[in-house]
Amino acid sequence: MKGFMSNLEYLDDFGYAHLSIDTQTRNGEVLLSFIEYCDAHEDERFWQALRNWSEFDKIHASNNGEEGGLRDTFYFEGKNG
pLDDT tens readout for residues 7-60 = 556 566 776 666 666 667 777 888 888 988 998 999 999 999 999 999 999 888
| 23 touches 29 (CB < 8 A) | yes
Q: What is the DSSP string of 43-79?
A: TS-HHHHHHHHHT-S--EE-SS--GGG-EE-TT--ST
Q: Single out the residue of 28, 6, 8 nearest to residue 16, CA to CA.
A: 8
Q: Does residue 65 or residue 42 have the better pLDDT?
A: 42
Is the pTM higher than 0.85? no
